[in-house]
Structure 1
């Protein structure tokens, strides 16, 4: 994590603390409490909590069980002179609590509430049958919270020896930051076809220069957050944020665009909504506002977003230089023309619908004379190991690639697929 970015955002959060305190609980001697989260494949998760005290805290007075963070595993506690993580603690007014934040390959969305079940029944009734339909909303109720509740369990001491006892009162974070997601800004685009508004998130490189040309990555979310808050595509997984991470930007500066669709854009009956035409119009409008390399526009998406990307490529075969298609599908016999485009497909073996139908599309491409690189990767490998596997596939030199992840399930595909350097490198190598 970029320490400069974290420090800046935490300090900025402290400046706005007075307003936040009206709705939160601050324990005696604690001036502020900040939760810093990061976005992983299975969504935003708090990684660090920083407590600002009214006096420097003795690092020696802290132990691994000085605090608990509700629902999270604490992996490190120390004090610091500045509100940031460090290799070693030092006396200072900030207590840094690091918590375990890693991908859970078995993560599932929260079960629907009774009210949500009733909403679903009403939607199904109005649609004329069960299941998702293009043009309808799912409710966008998936949540990826960025707050935390801390409990002090043992007494601690200031550098001068004053004792701060554990009083049992919860310390509720008053500031939430998510360094990479917070770099995106939120805008709206009015469809030239319907007049409806499409909200979207956009990321510009830190030192954006209008005199340079930048590639653009379009990320399309899955159905789980359709009609959710505009920032939800930034929190549901790292399909958008992985391209904006400091390490990724250091290798490939790019603009990232992540719309928040108000409805289902495609469905399993191969229907799609007018919002995909609006997306094409948005990309063309962005090209008039920003310095975008028209020969290096890329699309990617998971599940519904993957299917939407396929439709966009079929509708506009000259628009995209390459695509990363994650956990999606389309009618195989309609995908034949896509063998002329640069595509990397990723599916889990446990996602039989995506894996089977995408496999049938690949078979059609081969029948048409196209070479397709195909491999199976163990999905529990480290990010570095997965990147090495990607480099092996890249070395084959084909513009069509299909990766099967062992086991897994539909959602687990995007828990793994994004942020793999070898795949990112491949995508940015593609030019129209």
Structure 2
């Protein structure tokens, strides 16, 4: 198991021991229940549940049918001496329940309730018609829960042979931990233009040294979580966390910044809000407080975030060293000047709007004399296979690249695009 993950599991267990809990709501013998989640392409998902008992549990008394986790498929159950995953179980006070956590390429956002629809209708009435508009909120109603509910469905034994009887009583998690996302800190930036507050998340490398210079990756979320809690941009997908994963940091140490926008920053009519100016000022401010390499500031975003990145690149052509543009678009007629920048576009074939308009921008760049690498990838390939495909495109040596993912849909584009090593390696190769 990866060292970072082990440390996180240990911390989760220690947190459960150290924090005062109202154990009156927990069954006898259970001290704490920790739900540990990961952020995948389609959002945060619980991957492990750790039950802390008051005495060592017999590993031999446990099997996959010992517990049920509501809404989850249990993959492994075993005891351990520490609150962490292990290849082999041993007698110990911690019962580790591993559950299935993988990307669903067909995952859809939370469907609006009647109250949500009433709110939307009122917003549409106030703004003169239906549709998303820059400067308006979508409500931030998407949910990415990190809790778990466990039921002990079979008798288990302690290491000394005492039986703890099965029970249909639901056991709710008392502690939530999210790998990598919990390593981000939250802060706020006050716009010098309007005085409005822009909340953001920031990740610093574990061994951050102000004497060194670090590249910075800016991630901008899509409209689905606009006006949500500040951490929603970390939970909605791995567009921010993929750069802070232990494996990614081992290859490319960097600072990661992920704002949480209170309003929609851009819309389909090519309008954008002042929050993008605030974002530019945020980046300038961060350079005065952290050791950032000004020649290696990168931007990426999905859907609204992709479009926001394009607007900022047009407004500040010397700000970013490179951009990864996922599932977005902009008026192709206005994108001609971007052919001087380092850009990798990824769109799903099933996302007609993004794929078509970005394709028109690419043809404009070609008509202006620029070379663009273009390829189609099977989106169901493994991450390692996608990285191989990315390396083939990198080998062509062009600074403009356009990848089509087979089939899919708008949201599926970012379910797949982030965390591909070859794509990440390309971005960090770019310098101003």
Fold in common (TM above 0.5): yes
Alignment match, 2:11: 9
* Distance in 2 (alpha carbons) for counterparts of 1:5 and 1:127: 50
Query: Displacement of 1:232 after TM fit?
Result: 0.4
Deviations 1:316-364 (A, max 9, x none): 0000000000000000000000000000000000000000000000000
Alignment match, 1:373: 373
Alignment of 1:82-93 (within 5 A): 82-93=82-93
What TM-score, normalized to structure 1? Answer: 0.98
What TM-score, normalized to structure 2? Answer: 0.98
RMSD: 1.0
Contact 2:10 2:82 in 1 (8 A): no
2:205 match: secondary structure: coil
Alignment match, 1:96: 96
Alignment match, 1:52: 52
The aligned length equals 430
* Distance in 2 (alpha carbons) for counterparts of 1:210 and 1:127: 47
Query: Displacement of 1:16 after TM fit?
Result: 5.0
Query: Displacement of 1:13 after TM fit?
Result: 2.4
1:293 match: secondary structure: strand
Deviations 1:103-122 (A, max 9, x none): 00000012111111110111
Alignment of 1:7-406 (within 5 A): 7-15=9-17, 17-19=19-21, 21=22, 25-406=25-406
Contact 2:110 2:141 in 1 (8 A): no
* Distance in 2 (alpha carbons) for counterparts of 1:111 and 1:297: 36
Query: Displacement of 1:27 after TM fit?
Result: 1.6
* Distance in 2 (alpha carbons) for counterparts of 1:101 and 1:391: 28
* Distance in 2 (alpha carbons) for counterparts of 1:11 and 1:148: 16
Gaps of 5+ in 2: none
Contact 1:9 1:179 in 2 (8 A): no
* Distance in 2 (alpha carbons) for counterparts of 1:263 and 1:16: 38
Query: Displacement of 1:12 after TM fit?
Result: 4.1
Contact 1:185 1:203 in 2 (8 A): yes
Gaps of 5+ in 1: none
Query: Displacement of 1:261 after TM fit?
Result: 0.3
| Structure 1 stretches of at least 4 aligned residues deviating more than 4 Å after TM superposition | none
1:18 match: secondary structure: coil
